[in-house]
Amino acid sequence: MKEQIEFLESLLSEKRLNRIKQVVNSKIQNITIVLDNLLDSHNTSAVLRTAEGLGLKDVYIIEKDYEFEINKCVTKYSHKWLDLRRFQDYSPCVKELREKGFKIFVANVGEKSVKLTDIEIEKDGKYAFVVGNEHDGISKEILKYADCEFTIPMFGFTESFNVSVASAIILSHTTYAYREKIENNSDLSEEEKENIYFEFLKKAIKNSDIMLKDLQNRK
């Protein structure tokens, strides 16, 4: 991989390389968001743009009833810098999250719900925040897996936020709190950073796969 990285680096400006390194060195994977059956591609895409802007590595997407669509006019291609984990049902998504050690926090108004601001964010914790469908809210299927239900504190006459706005509030609050607890602004290992850096270099260069194949053939 080292030779391939050096080859791709030679094709980009120092400014571009520094920007890619900066982004990679700010990625976090222990906070993520789960989109529960969202209907509107505008909302979904807005969440992706927020998630990438706040440095998330992964976004989990459950498309049980509605196929996930990307609105590139909204994402501004930010989605290409995210690992989108897509699932046709709830169980496989939850299984993957559990295997990775995540606790599941579901945005839901109910008697059990706590305030988002009361959730303690720890440096060793793993937090998956679930937001629900624009019309039907959280699915009963995902609610049964919740380790915690929470609400966003509100102080006006408005009773709820748009799902993309709610996601932005959730991720902004939790990622800033998390970054205050961790060192070096990222929770990825050096090996994980190198792998992401390599993938980002390939994405930053048109036809990079063809170029790398030609490089390999010249040996």
Domain extent listing, the chain: 27-207
44: nearest Cα among 133, 142, 160: 133
The DSSP element (H or E) to which 19 belongs, if any, is helix 14-24
Q: Is pLDDT larger for residue 219 or for residue 131?
A: 131
Residue range 8-64, pLDDT digits in tens: 999 999 999 999 999 999 999 999 999 999 989 999 999 999 999 999 999 999 999
The pLDDT score that the predictor gives to residue 14 is 97
219: confidence class by pLDDT, cuts 50, 70, 90: low
Mean pLDDT, the chain, as a whole number? Answer: 94
pLDDT greater than 80 at residue 66? yes
Coil, strand, or helix at residue 49?
helix
Is 127 a residue whose pLDDT tops 80? Answer: yes
pTM, full prediction:
0.93
Which of 4, 1, 20 is closest to 212 using CA atoms?
Answer: 4
- pLDDT for position 198: 96
The mean per-residue pLDDT over the stretch 86-97 comes to 96
Structure tokens at 84: 């989108």
**Structure tokens, 88:** 């046709």
100, pLDDT greater than 80: yes
Long-range (24+ apart) CB contacts under 8 A made by 211-219 are 211/7, 211/8, 211/11, 212/4, 212/7, 212/8, 215/3, 215/4, 215/7
* 8-state DSSP, 126: -
Read off the pLDDT of each residue in 134-161 and give the average, rounded to a whole number. Answer: 92
Q: Percentage of the chain surpassing pLDDT 90?
A: 84
Helix (H) or strand (E) holding 188: none
pLDDT in the model for residue 123: 93
Whether the predicted pLDDT of 152 surpasses 90: yes
The yes or no reply on domain 27-207 and CATH 1.10.645.10 is no
Look at residue 210 in the predicted model and tell me its pLDDT.
Answer: 87
pLDDT of amino acid 130? 97
Measure the CA–CA gap between 136 and 10, rounded to whole angstroms. Answer: 50
